[in-house]
Amino acid sequence: MRPDEGDLDEEIRGHLAIDIKERIDRGEDPVSARRAALREFGYVPAVREEMRRVWYSRWYDQAEALARDMRFAVRSLIRAKAVTVTVVVTLALGIGANAAIFSVVRSVLLRPLVNRDADRLLYIRQTAKGTGTENLTFSVPEINDFKSRATTVAAFGDFSTVDFTVIGFGHEPRLVKAGVVNGSFFEVMGLRPVLGRLLNAADDGPAAAGAAVLTHRFWTTALQSNPAVIGQTIRLGPRAATVVGVLEPSVPYPEETQIIANMVTSPHHSQAMMNTSRTHRMTELFGRLAPGATLEAARAELSTVHASVMRQYPQAYSARARVQLEVRTLRDQLASPAQTILLVLLAATAVVFVIACANVANLILARSVRREGELAVRAAIGASRGALRRTLLAESLVMCTGGAILGLLLAAPLVTVASRYAARFSIRALDATVDASVLWLGAGLAVIAAVLLAFVPRLPSSDRTAAVGLAGGSVRLTPGTNRRLRIFATIQVACSFVLLAGAGMLIATLTALQTANTGYDMRQVLAIDVPALATAVVDKNRSTFSPEATRRIRELPGVQGVAAGLVVPWRDLSFSNRLPFSVEGYQTADGEERPTAQLRVVSPGFFDVLGVPILSGRDFTSEDRSDTDPVAIVSQSVARRMFSSADAVNRRLWFGTAKPRRIIGIVADADDQNIVQAPTLTIYEPIRGGIMGQLANRLFVRAAGDPYTLVPPVTRIIRETSADQAVERPATLEDVRAEVLTPERLNTFVFSALGGIALLIAVVGVAGVLAFSVGARMREFGVRLAIGSTPHDLRIGVLRDGIRIAAFGIAAGAVGGYALVRVVERVFGAVQLPGALSVIGAAVVLIGAAAVASLMPATRASRVDVLQALRSE
Amino acid sequence: MATHSDDQRLELLQGTLDMLILRTLTWGPQHGHGIGQAIRAQSDDRLKVETGSLYPALHRLVKRRWLKAEWGVSEANQRAKYYQLTAAGRAQLLREQDRWSRLVDAIGRIMNPAPADTGK
């Protein structure tokens, strides 16, 4: 319905034509008829404007003007492709990185928990700093003391984890991690079911029926959200439980489990030791504040109770362990480990954004110098300063919008990466998603950048406009613009320096970790968990893999050896406790503590399979199982410390009051607990019956080729010999160690990537500044060549210029970075400063990069054609 | 053509132009020039509508969907936009006519008060 502009014109033309024809028909002559018609019509543009205004409001016109400016901007930006692409990509990197990190920070630090009244939900923990134990957990008697004495806490929730072999859901038997909780746990946590019910007081006590709640993640991933699982009965090891409900999605803490079951499902929890031993600690404790009670009051009261309990039972709290109680809200507990790393990351990405903006400012400034002629012409033919500024604003808006869109597209995959990364520190990061608030952040950053950038270039000043700009149309660099360009370039170098030095520090740490000697041959060894039916009543006659299975695996093509052991290095960290032992003929000196060693139960062939050299003596054989002549193998450290240089073979040692064992061999040290190998006192025993034999259920297979090709046949053989047997987590030792090093690797990767981006941007920045300064000084170079400078002099001059920018930047970065560390230390405590090597390395890299960036402009300066340069103006 | 001098010509009352346009178009579709001429002829040359008011008014009426416009060819063999009443336009004309006669009646009572005792 809305007429377009042509319609209006045509209607007016039609009106005039009809009028003129009528007048001619009445006898007027054509010329005066035309004149009269026009006179009677009135001022055509005014009438047309009024007709137009019926359909097009003033706002429409304003928007149209901006749109016209934007279209103009798009056209002129398309002509300047290189600059545009650089600006858009630079901004996209800055905005994308910030959006991603921000989403993770928000989900970890800012988003509320789903738990009802999360600020009244307490997490209570015992630490024993003296023995380096961050989380001592609680024993049942300790928890009962709190329950009977505390008044500021309305209810306590217990949580402990056990491994169950679950048979049910129509799946193969699988090992799941389960939480075992008391009836008030879910009430304390303030969580609701999405299906069925949760556990309550009726599920407490030895007479209750087994009941299990599925966690949301387990239900949706492993069970495909099948609602029919409610009411099913599953076997949890030796006992059975009914699935009563599915928990709502919530933050799993302290550990992610697949199911949460009541106490009666775990035989371990009904043993006398569990309920009476004050040092049998394996339970996590949560509490909900009583109405009216504050966190401080609860902390004070619980600490008082704890102190009096410690006085009452001194034997359970050794002075050396320095047992202490910590009470905080669950939310703080969840956020605290991630807080520092996330804030550091946020700061790093903010620095990248600053660098990106500085670089973009540089490019735009340089471009505006090139456009001074165009702007001057527009000013000369009457464009107001506002209109010129609007042109620049439209241009930077177009670029920043492009940058923001690309950046937010980039943010989605970045969030996935960043949340996996941050999940190492806080489980809440896994829920991070790109959503509206992130879009707002991106848009906000883009607008900030756009407005700043529109005001970076100088407009041609009204008085000098015509004279300067119109004359040559060539590039001129005023001292002011030049200074600004240099300042932005210096900022970039300074920021890059800080990031590079930090990344260098992390790389140095990681390299040290990765290249450290581990004592194992990691590449060819496949480790597989073959757990006994967890929490099953120990069956002494049952070994988890029969000799039959072992024999058949050994006969598989590509298998060089098979052995069993107690722990997969670096993965099974629950066997780090050391047992005191004695050695024939060794007296402890006064004040010397009794020697302690790790006990490892291994099968014959273990050392060969894992590549641990036997230094003297022999390996275990299948005949060593007898009780008549118990034998042991010791690590080199044991031999050195206990027997000095004398040969340890055939000497005897014993644990506590156990039968002395004859040492039959000495092997090299191999530390299966620490990622950086420490001298390890380890005593190996052959697998015999009993509990230790049951626990030695880690299978090691040495492969000739790719170890992972052996997983299916090995699994099949084990299943054929024992149908209910779970086979879990096959991985080479190399991958196990890599997995443990993941946080370090990720830290290094993220900071190196940020440092790399920063370096790249800074190189572009320095090169851009120099290219412009060279372009603007062509005439000067021509003159200098004419009066006797050599091209080499000019080249060196430009190179020196670039390196000077880098040097200033590095100095500024060093000072600024040091100041930043001091400020950060005041807030967060000690910060590790990068070593001299990292700092010098970063400086060298930047100087080198600046030199490379200067090369092209320098070469151009040295190739100036004297005559052409002098003639050009 | 100018049979009346300028001082004899009447200024259109605010808001009556729309009604006059609607009324004129009850005779059938007409282009802008024709509408102007018709008003002038119907008023015996007493009313002259300025094109500067007429065309914006026509567009306003189209926008309010009381008129619809179609391109046609005029007697001058020139493409011209023909305006035509819509059903909504007819309803609007009735409303405005009614309002107008009540207004004239009210103003008439004030300007020419009927003698109190002499009935009709």
Structure tokens at A336: 């605290």
d(CA B98, CA B103): 9
Mean pLDDT of A644-673: 80
How far, in Å, CA of A441 to CA of A433, rounded?
14
Location of structure tokens 């041959």? A521
Q: Which helix (H) or strand (E) holds A213?
A: strand A211-214
B22 pLDDT tier (thresholds 50, 70, 90): very high
Residues 6+ away with beta carbon under 8 Å from B44 = none
Mean pLDDT for A306-321 is 83
Selected residues 84-113 of chain B with any CB under 8 Å from a CB in chain A: none
Give Cβ neighbours of residue A446 (< 8 Å, ≥ 6 apart). Answer: A91, A95, A400, A401, A403, A404, A407
pLDDT bucket at A472, cuts 50 / 70 / 90: very low
- Cα within 13 Å of Cα(A49), Cβ side: 7
pTM surpassing 0.80?
no
Contact A17 B76 (CB under 8 A): yes
Whether the per-residue pLDDT at A691 is higher than 60: the answer is no
Question: What's phi and psi for A323, nearest 5 deg?
Answer: -70, 130
**A703 Cβ neighbours under 8 A, 6+ residues apart:** A524, A525, A526, A558, A559, A560, A709, A710
Q: Which of A142-146, A286-290, A304-308, A543-547 has the lowest mean pLDDT?
A: A543-547
Cβ A556 vs Cβ A713: under 8 Å: yes
Q: Please report which helix (H) or strand (E) contains residue A461, including its range.
A: none
A21 touches chain B (CB under 8 A): yes
Any bridge partners for residue A700, and if so which? A527, A563
Q: Is A42 on the interface with B (CB under 8 A)?
A: yes
d(CA B28, CA B39): 14
- How far apart CA A173 and CA A164 sit, in angstroms, is 10
B117 touches chain A (CB under 8 A): no
Rounding to the nearest 10 degrees, give the CA dihedral for residues A494, A500, A502, A503. 160
Residue A513, beta-bridge partner list: none
Interchain proximity B80–A42, CB inside 8 Å: no
pLDDT digit string (tens) for A356-394? Answer: 777 777 777 777 776 777 777 888 887 777 777 777 788
The answer to whether A257 and A215 are in contact (CB under 8 A) is yes
pLDDT tops 50 at residue A291: yes
Q: Look up residue A860 and give its amino acid.
A: R
Token readout for A332 is 């703080």
Buried residues in A388-422 as b, exposed as e (16+ CB within 10 A): bebbbbbbbbbbbbbbbbbbbebbeebbeebbebb
Mean residue pLDDT across chain B = 84
* In the predicted structure, residue A467 carries a pLDDT above the cut 50: no
In one-letter notation, the amino acid at residue A372 is E
3-state secondary structure of A608: helix
Question: Averaged over B76-86, what is the pLDDT?
Answer: 87
Predicted local distance difference test score (pLDDT) of residue A426 = 61
CA dihedral for B18, B20, B21, B27, sign (positive or negative)? positive
- Under DSSP, the state recorded for A562 is E
Confidence (pLDDT) at A594:
67
Name the DSSP letter for residue A135.
Answer: -
Cα torsion angle, A187, A189, A193, A196, sign: negative
Nearest CA to A395 out of A79, A99, A61 is that of: A79
Average pLDDT for chain A? 79
Distance from B110 to chain A by nearest Cα, in Å? 37
- Res B105: pLDDT: 92
Cβ A13–B74 below 8 Å, yes or no? no
* Strand ranges inside A389-447, DSSP E: none
pLDDT of residue A450: 79
Nearest CA in chain A to B75: A18
Nearest to residue A225, comparing CAs of A237, A217, A233?
Answer: A217
Query: Of B50, B60, B81, which has the smallest distance from its Cβ to A14's Cβ?
Result: B81
Residue B60 is nearest to which of A20, A40, A54, comparing CB atoms? A54
For residues A253 and A458, the model is more confident at: A253
Q: Give the pLDDT confidence of A502-559 residue by residue, as tens digits.
A: 777 777 777 777 777 777 877 888 888 877 654 444 444 445 556 677 888 888 888 8
DSSP per residue, A463-477: TTHIIIIIHH-S---
| pLDDT at residue B112 is higher than 70 | yes
Distance CA(A765)–CA(A857), nearest Å, equals 13
Give phi and psi for A429, each to the nearest 5: -65, -25
CB A197 within 8 A of CB A203: no
* Of the candidates A196, A191, A180, the residue with the CA atom closest to the CA atom of residue A230: A196
Residues 10-49 (B) with a CB less than 8 A from some CB of A: 31-34
Mean pLDDT over residues B67-72, rounded? 91
For position A689, what pLDDT does the model report? 59
Confidence band for A186, pLDDT divided at 50, 70 and 90: very high
Tell me the range of A87-91, A678-682, A753-757 where mean pLDDT is highest. A87-91
Q: Is A26 on the interface with B (CB under 8 A)?
A: yes
* Boundaries of every domain in chain B: 13-108
Beta-carbon neighbour count of residue A476 at 10 Å?
Answer: 18
Name the DSSP letter for residue B47. Answer: B
pLDDT value, residue A176: 82
Q: Is A558:A710 a contact under the CB 8 Å cutoff?
A: yes
Residue of A nearest to B67 (CA): A1
State the fold for domain B13-108: Arc Repressor Mutant, subunit A (1.10.10)
Q: In the predicted model, what is the mean pLDDT of residues A7-28?
A: 89
- Give the rounded percent of residues in chain A with a pLDDT score beyond 70: 85
**Interface membership of B52 toward A (CB under 8 Å):** yes
Categorize the per-residue pLDDT at A341 as very low, low, confident or very high, splitting at 50, 70 and 90: low
Of the pLDDT bands very low, low, confident and very high (cuts 50, 70, 90), residue A476 is low
pLDDT value at position A389?
Answer: 78
Residues A362 and A493 sit within 8 Å (Cβ to Cβ)? no
Q: N- to C-terminal Cα distance for chain B?
A: 42
Classify residue A731 as exposed, middle or buried by CB count within 10 Å of its CB (0-12, 13-18, 19+).
buried
pLDDT at B84: 94
pLDDT exceeds cutoff 80 at A470: no
- Tell me what the mean pLDDT of segment A142-166 comes to: 88
How much is the average pLDDT of A668-681?
Answer: 77
Distance from CA of A42 to the nearest CA of B (A): 7
Question: What is the pLDDT confidence band of residue A59, given thresholds at 50, 70 and 90?
Answer: confident
| pLDDT above 60 for B120 | no
Take residue A26 and report the two structure tokens written for it: 């009445």
**What pLDDT score does A536 carry?**
42
Render pLDDT for A755-786 as a digit per residue (tens, 0 to 9). 787 787 777 777 777 777 777 777 788 888 88
E strand residue ranges, A728-820: 728-732
